[in-house]
Amino acid sequence: MAALLLLPLLLLPLLLLKLRLWPQLRWLAADLAFSVRALRCKRALRARALAAAAADPEGPEGGCSLAWRLAQLARQRPAHTFLIHGAQRFSYAEAERQSNRAARAFLRARGWDGGPGGGDSGAGGAGEGERAVHGVRDSVAGSGAARPVREGDGAAPLAPGAIVALLLPACPEFLWLWFGLAKAGLRVAFVPTALRRGPLLHCLRSCGARALVLAPEFLESLEPDLPALRAMGLHLWAAGSETHPAGITDFLAEASAEVDGPVPGYLSAPQNIMDTCLYIFTSGTTGLPKAARISHLKVLQCQGFYQLCGAHQEDVIYLALPLYHMSGSLLGIVGCLGIGATVVLKSKFSAGQFWEDCQQHGVTVFQYIGELCRYLVNQPPSKAEHGHKVRLVVGSGLRPDTWERFVRRFGPLQVLETYGLTEGNVATFNYTGQRGAVGRASWLYKHVFPFSLIRYDVTTGEPIRNTQGLCVATSPGEPGLLVAPVNQQSPFLGYAGGPELARGKLLKDVFQPGDVFFNTGDLLVCDDQGFLRFHDRTGDTFRWKGENVATTEVAEALEALDFLQEVNVYGVTVPGHEGRAGMAALVLRPPHSLDLVQLYVRVSENLPPYARPRFLRLQESLATTETFKQQKVRMAKEGFDPSALSDPLYILDQAGGAYLPLTPARYSALLAGDLRI
C-alpha cells in the first residue's frame, strides 16, 4: 500500500520534466529524420569525393567536383534532361559535351601543351608565374595538328588557376563556360550583371581577374568601360556572334571549333579541397562588393542541398534567380547536379508566366527568394495556377503573411525556408514547415551543423561578454547574434584582397579561450520550441529585392554630386514588401538647389537597380548621435509618410525614370499596391 502511495510522488518529477521539455520533444521525430538524412548526405558526398580522388587522373572523373559529377551523370543518365531554357533542352550528355568544348577553348588560351603531367598541377595550385607554352596536344585540340594559342587581344596566355570573370545573364552559355573553366583548371568570378563603371572595375581588380567574358547585349552599356578594361590587360571575349568592338572576339565561335571529348581530370583536381575555385561578390558594410572565396569543399557540399531538402532525381526544378548569386548557381545548379534532376532556367522571372511554365514543363520544385512569392500572390487568378505539380518550394526571405497567402492559394505544397550566407559556414533548414521560421535549433541539428546565438549589444555593435571575457548564450525568445565555429569541416575563407575586408567576421574567445567563430552579422530568435526566426541585420546593411544593400556604397554615389553636402542612407519598411527599401536623407550644399534629374542619372549609372534609393528626404541638417554618428535607426522609424513629416519627400518612379514628389495620393497608392517601387 505504501508503494502505491509513493508511485505518484516518483512519477511527478518525470511528468514535470516531460511538460517542460514537451515543446521540444514533440518535434523529436522530425529532428531525428532530418539529422539522419544530413548524415547520409555527408557520407554520400564523402564517398563521391574519395572515388574521384582514386579515379584515373587522365579521365574526366578524376577532376574537381563539378567535373567528375557532370561526367558521372553523362555516363549514368546521358539522355536525361538536365536543362530547359525557353525552347532549348539539353541532356546531361550534351551538357558534358558543351562544357568540354568550352574547356578546350580555355585551355588553348592557357597555352597548355598536354605533355606528360601537363606542366601544371591542377586548379588553384599554380601561380601566375607558371610558364606559358605554345601549343595544344592533339588529344585536347581535337585536330590533326596542334593549333597555336589565339593572338590579337594583347593579353598574355592565362596561367593555370587564373581567374576568368563572367558577366552574363542566366542562360545555358553561362553554365557551359562555368563548367568549362572548372575543367580547364581556371577559377571563375561571377560578376553581378548590373555593375558598370567604378563598381565593375573594382570587382575585376579585387579578385585579380585576367579575362572577362561578357554578353553581347551588354556591349553598348559597357562601351565607356572598354578603355579601362583594355588597360587592365584582360582577355576580352563576348559570348555571341554579334559585331564586336576591336579586341573582343567571340568565345562561343572558338569553343564550337573544338571537339567535345573528355578533358583530363588532373587539370582541375585541387591540391587541397580548401583551395578557392570560385568568387561570388557580396555587398558588405565596407561599401563596394567583396569577392567571397568559395572553396572546392563548399561546391561539393552544395551538391547535397536538394537532397537535404527532400528532392530527388525525377524532380523538375524551376530556377529564375541570377546565376551570379549563390542561391542560383551553387544551390540551384550545383544542387540540381547533386541529385541528377532537371532544371528549368529562366533569364528573368515573370509572375504572369510562372504557372504556365510550371504546367508546360511539369515543374515539381520551385526555388524562391521571398520577393518572388509575393509577386505570385499579388497576381490576378489564372487557370494555370490550378492543377500544377509543384509540391515543394525552397528558398529564403519568405515573410509569414506571404507564406500563409501562398500556401492557401497555391497549395497543397511544402514550403522549406532556409538561411545561409555566401561566405558563411552555417546554414539552417526549416524542415518542419513551421510558418515564419528559418530553421531549428535542436541539439540533434546543432550536432550536425553547429551554431549558437549569443547576446549582442546593438548600441556598441559588439557581443556582450561576461566577467571572464566570454560571450553569453541567449535565452529562448531573446534576439541573439548567430555565430558558428570555424574549423576544418566549416571553414571561413574570407575575401579576395586584404585581411581588413574580413574584419569583424571572426570572433575569438566566444565560449572558451582561443576558440574562433564566424560572425554572420544577423540577429535571430530561438523560441521555446526550438524554432529559429530571423530578427534583423546588424550594422548598416539591409536587404532589398533579395540583395544586400550597403548604405556606404549608396551614400558615396550620392555624395559625389556637387549640390549635396551630407547624405544619410538607411532602409525603411514598406508594407507588403519583403526587406527594407533604401531611403536617403539629403542636405543641400549652399547655395545649390536640388537637381532631381541629375540625381537620378547619378544613381542609375553608378548603382545596381536594387541599391537605388526608393525614397528621398530633404532636410536642413542631419541628426547625429552624441558621438557624431548619423542617426539611422530613428530615421528609419520615422519612415516616409508625408502626413507625418514636414520635410519634402520624393519617391522613385521606375517606369518614368525620375524622382517625383511623394504626395499623399502617391503614398496611398503605394500602400494599396498600385504604385510599384
pLDDT at 574: 92
* Amino acid in position 638: E
Mean pLDDT (whole number) for 63-80:
96
Among 151-160, 162-171, 492-501, which range has the highest average pLDDT?
162-171
- 491 and 619 part of one domain: no
Q: How many CA atoms lie within 13 A of 214 on its CB side?
A: 29
Q: Is residue 364 included in any domain, yes or no?
A: no
Whether residue 664 is found in the same domain as residue 553 = yes
Do 638 and 662 lie in a common domain? yes
Q: Is residue 446 domain-resident?
A: yes
Q: Which of 314, 359, 311 is nearest to 81 (CA)?
A: 314
Quick one: 498 and 626 in the same domain? no
Number of domains observed in the structure of the chain: 3
Cell numbers 510522488 correspond to: 9
Question: Contact, 322 vs 281, CB < 8 A?
Answer: no
Residue 74: exposure state from Cβ atoms within 10 A (0-12, 13-18, ≥19): buried
- Rounded-to-integer distance, Cα 153 and Cα 233, Å: 9
Rounded CA gap, 213 and 263, in Å?
21
Could you tell me how many residues make up the chain?
A: 677
Phi, psi of 331 (to 5 degrees): -80, -45
What DSSP line would sit under 299-340, residue for residue? HHHHTTHHHHHT--TT-EEEE-S-TTSHIIIIIIIIHHHHHT
Compute the 3-state secondary structure of the chain and give helix, strand, coil in percent, each to the nearest 5.
Answer: 35, 20, 40
Supply the pLDDT for residue 623.
81
CB-based contact 162:111 (threshold 8 Å): no
> What number of other Cβ atoms are within 10 A of residue 201's Cβ?
16
Instruction: With CA atoms as reference, report the closest residue to 604 among 662, 533, 653.
Output: 653
Query: Helices in 442-559 by DSSP H: which ranges?
Result: 443-448, 551-559
Is 552 within a domain? yes
| Contact present, 228 and 80 (Cβ < 8 Å) | no
Is residue 275 in some structural domain? yes
My answer on whether 211 and 73 are in the same domain is yes
DSSP string, 337-368: HHHT-EEEE-SS--HHHHHHHHHHHT--EEEE
Q: Where a domain ends, among 512, 537, 562? A: 537
pLDDT tens digits, one per residue of 526-536: 999 999 998 87
The whole domain housing 97 covers 65-106+159-348
Mean residue pLDDT across the chain: 87
Amino acid at position 517, single letter: F
Are 234 and 221 contained in the same domain? yes
Same domain, 471 and 589: no
At residue 551, the pLDDT reads 79
- Using a pLDDT cut of 90, give the percent of the chain over it: 67
**CATH number for the domain harbouring residue 325:** 3.40.50.980
Mark whether 509 and 641 lie in a shared domain. Answer: no
- 229 and 90 part of one domain: yes
The three three-digit cell numbers of residue 345, written as one number: 532556367
Q: How confident is the model at residue 6 (pLDDT cuts 50, 70, 90)?
A: low
Confidence band of 23 (pLDDT split at 50, 70, 90): low
Q: Is the pLDDT of residue 386 over 70?
A: yes
Stretch 172-184: mean pLDDT: 97
Q: What is the CATH number of the domain that holds 633?
A: 3.30.300.30
Q: Say whether the peptide bond before residue 262 is cis (omega within 30 degrees of 0).
A: no
For cell 591542377, name the residue: 122
| Rounded average pLDDT over 652-670 | 93
Rg (the chain; Cα; Å)? 27
Q: Does residue 226 carry a pLDDT above 60?
A: yes
In a domain, 553, yes or no: yes
Query: What would the pLDDT profile of 589-605 be if each residue is shown by its tens digit?
Result: 889 999 999 999 999 98
Element containing residue 41 per DSSP (H, E): helix 28-54
Read off the pLDDT of each residue in 535-554 and give the average, rounded to a whole number: 77
Same domain membership, residue 584 and residue 516? no
- Please report which confidence band the pLDDT of residue 7 belongs to, taking 50, 70 and 90 as the band edges: low
Least confident window among 83-87, 363-367, 444-448: 444-448
Q: Which of 313, 348, 383 is the last residue of a domain?
A: 348
Residues 450, 553, single domain; the answer is: no
Mean pLDDT of 320-334: 95
